[in-house]
């Protein structure tokens, strides 16, 4: 962009082969009018030395001389030299990131119980709280004691509905597993079942629950504000565990946010190397203002468990944010009931790597 004096109309020329007596002209442009600013678009240039020549083409007064007390015409003719340096793979040193070391898995649990006075008896909810593990985890609730099919209902928080509501067949154990957020309260209700083959009441039962945390050192990173810095060109492992605080299950609860910094312009590719078999995952790169740079939507993966690649191309130096998200679960819900196996993402991590052109071999 060139700003010029009010009485001058200029032209600009870009020249190459500086060492020659007559450098080769690559681009040239005349100003649209006297005193008007304009830009010369040089396009993509190869590494090397260049000249930028700026000349006064026209003066409003018609002369470059000043007479008497007239001010001198503010004109010029200048030549500038600049050099474009190639970026060689491995030359850009991006800022280091402190290593993320996963701690031990957090555990916990407890129990309760009471007795049923008659068939179809329902007792008040029993309240429990998960450990304050920032990673969140999985709670499994078991109902022990009754010889016949009992019912087990679990709620997270104080909302309506249920996280899980199950009745098991005679001789089976009532069991429910679900994701939960750190320190979150949950309620368990055990009820007998009408026509249960129990000859004598009252019947005692016992509730046991266990908590298994996931050693995810990137948590908490559930929003852009909580994004954790990740190293470039290294594998990162994390879990799609929802920090549930209510009975409602939203896919946004599984979102994980990360950030990385480029010291210079570089080619960026994000590879999702492994994903739980029940998760359909997506990736997106964002600028700090929230504008999206590139995205592979979660629904863009053809099937749960499929890996994906996000090619961002060459992007400028600066800070960027990466979101790993989920679109759907093969089981349709994030809880398991009875003898159903736990959803795979309860125990299987996802793995990704932010690759740069300068970091590739």
- Nearest-10 Cα torsion for 215, 218, 223, 224: -170
Is 224 within 8 Å of 286 (Cβ atoms)?
A: yes
Radius of gyration of the chain measured on its C-alpha atoms: 33
Is 268 within 8 Å of 315 (Cβ atoms)?
A: yes
Tokens 């359909």, located at residue:
280
Q: For the segment 62-92, what is each residue's pLDDT rounded down to a tens digit?
A: 555 556 666 555 556 788 887 776 554 445 6
Q: Are residues 297 and 232 in the same domain?
A: yes
Q: Are residues 171 and 198 in the same domain?
A: yes
Q: Does residue 293 lie within any of the structural domains?
A: yes
Is 190 within 8 Å of 144 (Cβ atoms)?
A: no
Q: For the segment 187-198, what is each residue's pLDDT rounded down to a tens digit?
A: 888 877 655 556
* Domain stops at, among 213, 244, 277: 213
Q: Does residue 135 lie within any of the structural domains?
A: yes
* Domain stops at, among 160, 185, 213: 213
When divided into structural domains, the chain yields a total of 3
Q: For the segment 91-136, what is each residue's pLDDT rounded down to a tens digit?
A: 567 778 887 776 667 788 888 888 888 777 778 889 999 998 888 8
Closest CA to 252 of 242, 239, 267: 242
Domain that holds residue 36: 8-84
Q: Look up the pTM and report it.
A: 0.69
* Predicted pLDDT of residue 171: 46
Is 141 within 8 Å of 188 (Cβ atoms)?
A: yes
Q: Are residues 143 and 49 in the same domain?
A: no
* Predicted pLDDT of residue 159: 60
Question: Rounded CA gap, 156 and 154, in Å?
Answer: 7
Is 135 within 8 Å of 183 (Cβ atoms)?
A: no
Q: Does residue 99 lie within any of the structural domains?
A: no
Is 188 within 8 Å of 206 (Cβ atoms)?
A: no
Q: Are residues 40 and 150 in the same domain?
A: no
- pLDDT band of residue 4 (cuts 50, 70, 90) is low
Closest CA to 253 of 239, 266, 267, 264: 239
CATH number reported for the structural domain that contains residue 139 in this entry: 2.60.120.680
Q: Which two tokens stand for residue 175?
A: 């069991």
Strand order in the sheet with 279-286: 228-229, 256-262, 318-329, 279-286, 292-296
Is 130 within 8 Å of 182 (Cβ atoms)?
A: yes
* Domain stops at, among 182, 213, 244: 213
Q: Are residues 233 and 276 in the same domain?
A: yes
Q: What is the phi/psi pair of residue 43, to 5°?
A: 70, -160
* Predicted pLDDT of residue 170: 47
Q: What average pLDDT does the chain have?
A: 79
CATH number reported for the structural domain that contains residue 309 in this entry: 2.60.120.380
Is 26 within 8 Å of 42 (Cβ atoms)?
A: yes
- Within 13 Å of residue 164, how many CA atoms lie on the same side as its CB? 30
Q: Does residue 91 lie within any of the structural domains?
A: no
DSSP H/E element including 188 = strand 185-191
Q: For the segment 310-320, what is each residue's pLDDT rounded down to a tens digit?
A: 999 999 999 99
Closest CA to 278 of 354, 338, 216, 335: 335
Question: Rounded CA gap, 352 and 272, in Å?
Answer: 4
Q: Are residues 67 and 115 in the same domain?
A: no
């Amino acid at each position: 962009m060139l700003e010029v004096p009010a009485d001058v109309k200029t032209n600009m020329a870009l020249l190459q082969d500086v060492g020659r007596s007559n450098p080769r002209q690559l681009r040239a442009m005349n100003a649209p009018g006297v005193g008007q600013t304009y830009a010369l678009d040089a396009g993509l240039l190869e590494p090397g030395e260049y000249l930028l020549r700026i000349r006064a083409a026209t003066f409003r007064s018609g002369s470059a001389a000043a007479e008497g007390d007239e001010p001198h015409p503010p004109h010029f003719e200048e030549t500038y030299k600049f050099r474009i340096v190639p970026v060689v793979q491995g030359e850009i040193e991006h800022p280091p990131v402190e290593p993320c070391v996963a701690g031990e898995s957090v555990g916990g649990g407890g129990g309760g119980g009471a007795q049923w006075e008659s068939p179809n008896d329902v007792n008040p909810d029993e309240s429990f709280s998960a450990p304050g593990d920032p990673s969140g985890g999985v709670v499994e609730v078991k109902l022990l004691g009754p010889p016949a099919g009992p019912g087990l209902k679990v709620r997270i928080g104080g909302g309506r509905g249920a996280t899980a509501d199950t009745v098991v067949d005679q001789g089976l154990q009532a069991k429910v597993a679900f994701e939960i957020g750190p320190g979150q309260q949950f309620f368990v209700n055990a009820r007998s079942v009408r026509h249960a083959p129990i000859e004598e009441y009252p019947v005692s039962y016992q509730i046991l629950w266990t908590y298994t945390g996931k050693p995810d050192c990137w948590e908490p990173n559930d929003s852009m504000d909580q994004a954790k810095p990740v190293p470039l060109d290294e594998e990162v492992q994390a879990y799609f565990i929802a920090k549930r605080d209510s009975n409602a299950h939203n896919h946004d609860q599984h979102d994980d946010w990360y950030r990385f910094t480029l010291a210079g312009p570089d080619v960026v590719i994000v590879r999702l190397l492994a994903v739980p078999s029940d998760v359909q995952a997506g990736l997106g790169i964002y600028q700090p203002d929230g504008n999206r740079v590139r995205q592979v939507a979660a629904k863009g993966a053809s099937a749960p468990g499929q890996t994906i690649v996000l090619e961002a191309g060459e992007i400028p130096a600066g800070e960027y944010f990466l979101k790993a998200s989920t679109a759907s679960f093969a089981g349709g819900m994030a809880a398991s009931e009875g003898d159903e196996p736990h959803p795979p993402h309860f125990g299987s991590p996802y793995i990704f790597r932010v690759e740069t052109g300068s970091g590739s071999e």
